[in-house]
């Protein structure tokens, strides 16, 4: 019962428009908490409780689209940044190899911690890695600096984070985009049902395509990116049947979340070969996909990922598949600060919890297509429509669709 209550509190706040609108502006916000004296334990507890009340309020039960956050274009030190606060809590994160300036996954995670700093006074910090072997050293460094709650950003950090959790039982850890088969008492796995909004994106791609050929570009293979891919493929197949179209789908992988040039090359090849819409789930590699769409010009589109990316190419970004990473990071961190027992469990966020969705920006396609995508999202959220997240589930989905 305790677990269900915690999950409900965390998830139901995920579509708070106030929090969403603040997510992108936190980079430029002045850190006022660091200027004041340390709080008393009583005052600190009150601030944390107020933060929880704020982030659990103003929830829309209807909308499955996220308003885009204002985006700050400032560049951050790829190795480290720290925001001091006046709280006794110290919360940190270690980026994946795409780095803090990826305009996507890591940036959204840091936005969550900057929100935490502003709302609670917690001391927050990130460390960036250059390769996977850096995870352990960065985690150990943060432990040595007395950070008591540490995030691993991305599934590739999971093994290193679990190893540190076993070595340091007094420190709490969490990993974004990973569910642990064997749980550890001081470790939380946080995942998103990315296949659900990806289905909506697949429908939009087919509805918009004039060349009857769309594409998907992933970073590296794995369960997380499979969810994006097969959700997208399923949505496209569903749209083909509903709209009586015969749109084909090209799939390619860059083998990296950090290779801008490879993303550009793969996307350019697809556009040159007749694809007119590409969905990327490739982190910083995806910025190359977006650049190729801009270069291809009018009538060539890209679907962004993780956070609204329309600002990167306003005339070419159709929509973005959004995982509300920043809100999840702040909410789970506040739960830790409230001493709720979130460790030793996996938390799963989807459309029914308003934790994923698509961008509300749809300047490059019709209102009718946008409205239909939201209707489909509501069918998914209510359980009417089940979305596949891997090859076997996709095969079953296609079989069922053909039998209808």
Question: CATH 3.40.50.2300 residue ranges in the chain?
Answer: 2-192+324-356, 195-323+366-403
169-189 average pLDDT score: 94
Tokens of 307: 């956070």
Give the number of residues written for the chain: 404
- Whole-angstrom CA distances from 358 to 83, 98, 173, 351 are 30, 23, 29, 10
- Whole-angstrom CA distances from 369 to 205, 207, 314 are 10, 7, 18
Output the pLDDT for position 272: 98
* Rounded distance between C-alpha atoms, residue 278 and residue 267, angstroms: 7
* Top-ranked range on mean pLDDT: pick from 64-68, 100-104, 199-203, 356-360: 199-203
Digit-coded pLDDT (tens) for 260-291: 999 999 999 999 999 999 999 999 999 999 99
Residue 15 has pLDDT above 60, yes or no: no
Cα–Cα–Cα angle for 45, 50, 54, rounded to 5 degrees: 150
Cα–Cα–Cα angle for 138, 139, 145, rounded to 5 degrees: 90
The answer to whether domain 2-192+324-356 has CATH 3.40.50.2300 is yes
Mean pLDDT of the chain: 85
To the nearest whole percent, how much of the chain has pLDDT over 70? 81
Digit-coded pLDDT (tens) for 205-215: 999 999 999 99
The answer to whether domain 195-323+366-403 has CATH 3.40.50.2300 is yes
pTM of the model: 0.76
Output the pLDDT for position 338: 87
């Amino acid at each position: 019962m305790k677990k269900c209550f915690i999950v409900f509190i965390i998830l139901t706040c995920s579509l708070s428009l106030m929090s969403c609108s603040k997510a992108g502006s936190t980079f430029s916000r002045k850190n006022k908490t660091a200027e004041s004296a340390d709080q008393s334990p009583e005052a600190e507890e009150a601030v944390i409780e107020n933060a929880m009340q704020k982030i659990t309020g103003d929830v829309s039960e209807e909308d499955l689209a996220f308003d885009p956050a204002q985006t700050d274009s400032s560049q951050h030190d790829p190795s480290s940044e720290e925001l001091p606060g006046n709280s006794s809590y110290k919360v940190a994160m270690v980026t994946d190899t795409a780095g803090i300036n990826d305009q996507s996954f890591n940036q959204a995670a840091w936005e969550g911690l900057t929100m935490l700093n502003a709302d609670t006074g917690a001391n927050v910090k990130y460390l960036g890695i250059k390769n996977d072997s850096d995870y352990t050293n960065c985690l150990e460094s943060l432990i040595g600096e007395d950070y008591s709650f540490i995030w691993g950003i991305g599934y590739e950090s999971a093994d290193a984070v679990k190893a540190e959790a076993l070595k340091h039982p007094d420190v709490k850890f969490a990993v974004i985009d990973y569910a642990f088969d064997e749980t550890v008492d001081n470790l939380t796995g946080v995942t998103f049902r990315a296949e659900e909004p990806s289905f909506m994106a697949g429908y939009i791609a087919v509805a918009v395509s004039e060349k009857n050929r769309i594409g998907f570009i992933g970073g590296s293979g794995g369960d997380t990116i499979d969810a994006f891919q097969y959700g997208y493929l399923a949505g496209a197949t569903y749209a083909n049947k509903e709209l009586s179209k015969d749109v084909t789908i090209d799939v390619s992988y860059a083998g990296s979340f950090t290779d801008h040039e490879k993303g550009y090359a793969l996307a350019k090849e697809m556009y040159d070969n007749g694809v007119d819409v590409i969905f990327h789930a490739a982190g910083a590699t995806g910025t190359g996909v977006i650049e190729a769409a801009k270069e291809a010009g009018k009538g060539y589109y890209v679907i962004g990922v993780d956070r609204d990316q329309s600002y990167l190419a306003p005339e070419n970004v159709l929509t973005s598949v959004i995982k509300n990473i920043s809100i999840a990071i702040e909410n789970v961190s506040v739960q830790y600060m409230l001493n709720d027992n979130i460790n030793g469990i996996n938390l799963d966020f989807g459309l029914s919890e308003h934790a994923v969705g698509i961008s509300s920006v749809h300047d490059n396609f019709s209102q009718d297509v946008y409205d239909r995508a939201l209707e489909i999202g509501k069918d998914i959220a209510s359980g009417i429509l089940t979305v596949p997240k891997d090859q076997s589930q996709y095969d079953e989905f296609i079989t069922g669709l053909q039998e209808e």
